[in-house]
Amino acid sequence: MKLKHDSRIPILQNLAVRLVGSIEMRKLRNACTFPRIAQRNTLRAILTEAKDSVYGKEHHFEEILQARSERELYELYQKFNKPTEFEDYRPYVNRMLQGEPDILFRGKPVLYATTSGSTGEPKYVPISGIYMKNVYGSMTRLWLHNFIHQRRKVFSGQIFAIVGKQIEGYAPDGTVYGSVSGFTQKDAPGFIKKMYCTPTELFNIEDYAARNYALMRFSIERNVTLWIAPNPSTMVELQNTVDKWLDEFIEDIGNGTLSDKVDIPEDIRKAVQPWLKPNPDRAYELRALQSQYDQVQPRHFWPNLQILSSWKCGNTQIYLRKFQGHIPSATLHQELGYFATECRFGLVFDDSNETVVMPHMHYYEFKREKDLGDPDAPFYQLYELKEGERYCPFVTTFSGLYRYNMNDIVQISSPFINVPRMHMIQKVNGIVSITGEKLYEDQFIKAVDQAQDSTGMKLTYYTGYVNLTESRYDWYFEFTDRKVDQKKADAFAKVVDENLMKLNIEYESKRKSFRLKDPAVYLLQPHAFDKFKEFILNRNHRDASRFKPNVLAQDEGKHAIIHNLRLILGKNKDNK
């Protein structure tokens, strides 16, 4: 399969996507034209659907629905339903896991989405049939429709979509739990499923190095025109896989094999066997690329790539910088949009990072960032948000979450019709404080970026943690140049510290008053991030594509893990 330039526009595929997507786009545009009406109707619809559930009865949904005005509706809803965290739902979810119906919503979940919890115990987020069909299904149709609007040839080749493991296990009542992305891929239109370049069985490989090998072995052979890779750190890892295993890929592709040098279970090897056929032409092309370039990148082996969809906001920018220049210059790198396991807020429709929210699919409330410490501060409706300001969103869904605190900071930008767009800044827990300085994760990232630019010293990975015992921040750096010693690392950290004092006046005040001690600086072992990630994933059995650790955090458990990955030089501050 030679990857010559393909000028075809896939007329039939585009027509099919447009037919289903245009209906959803009309619904969205109507909701965004009249957001006030859409939000009122959406809240009423959610409460009506759940009013006979255990939660609905306990929280007066029937009484709230008797409201005679929009204002009364919101006031009653806030009166009887306080803002929630996932731990507020755990007793209800535990009953649902045992098979009890009508707990958080009518009926039973069709599946549970899994993600890590704040207590260390995983969250099992129930997904209702309505939510799966009317939210995830509708958004997928909108998403695909927009791809064609942006690039008409996006479906002229094949799709490389990195998703989570569809089935991770079963609840006591037999309901499956796993990755929503795996299920949405499974439920994609038939002609779309035929375009995937990797067998779904590959996502069941437990060993992440072996999984990455298998994913790239199949995808590098294909003419990929759409690449969906939620987490940029995964993109970096896949490039590392190509760097390490390109010779084996070429041999496998030429022979139609799957290398036995990687740990892939026999049942998965058997399942993917029909996909394996000798392709000497493609092997020859890859060998030619290998001889031509020092590093063979996606821009070389996927020259027809139309769209790359990934997260670009928040702390993912660190990994995007490592991937800069790796895709074809004509490729649209589109932000995946603001969403989490608990709620897919909306979609990005252009080349900005701004998410268009769905007023007809969720009910949204917002609290200003500066009011987060005030329990009596007001909540704002979607149509009351001000451009340029930052808020924490609270969402009510058709899947049993009511006034749920997303614990995120979003910034408001220009509207889509009459609804403000927004993008993710950071997690609320990305704001850390030792003596009241309120240091923001994005401030730390900016300070480190400025230090890299001004010193010329480049980092492969970095992170920072609160050290309350010593009243300081512990910073961990892995420099691209392995010859950087502790003295140079300390000098680099001093620049970061100075940058932070310029970015945060409270940090400056606390540092100059000695309430905050000098940061402790540690050099990390080679590939520290990969080792850190592997440890966390193996311990929690989490989906690698959703792994998004904070760059700046207060987490003693993770701090201990990263501290064990430092270089032992005998010069670290706590060893003096």
Q: What pLDDT score was predicted for residue 549?
A: 77
For the chain, which residues score pLDDT lower than 70? 1-7, 116-121, 315, 540-548, 569-576
* DSSP 8-state assignment for residue 553: E
CB atoms inside a 10 Å sphere around CB 411? 18
CA distance linking residue 84 with residue 104, whole number of Å: 13
Q: Which of 540, 542, 534, 541 is nearest to 562 (CA)?
A: 534
- In single-letter form, the type of residue at position 307 comes to I
Looking only at the bridges linking them, the beta strands covering 552-553 and 111-115 are unpaired
Whether the CB-CB separation of 353 and 423 falls below 8 Å is answered with yes
CA distance linking residue 113 with residue 201, whole number of Å: 19
Q: Greatest CA span in the chain, whole angstroms?
A: 73
Q: What pLDDT score was predicted for residue 232?
A: 86
Q: What pLDDT score was predicted for residue 572?
A: 42
CB atoms inside a 10 Å sphere around CB 170? 13
Q: What pLDDT score was predicted for residue 575?
A: 36
- In single-letter form, the type of residue at position 327 comes to I
Q: What pLDDT score was predicted for residue 241?
A: 94
Whether the CB-CB separation of 112 and 171 falls below 8 Å is answered with yes
Dig out the tokens for 400 from the structure. Answer: 């049993």
CA distance linking residue 522 with residue 573, whole number of Å: 8
Q: What pLDDT score was predicted for residue 546?
A: 58
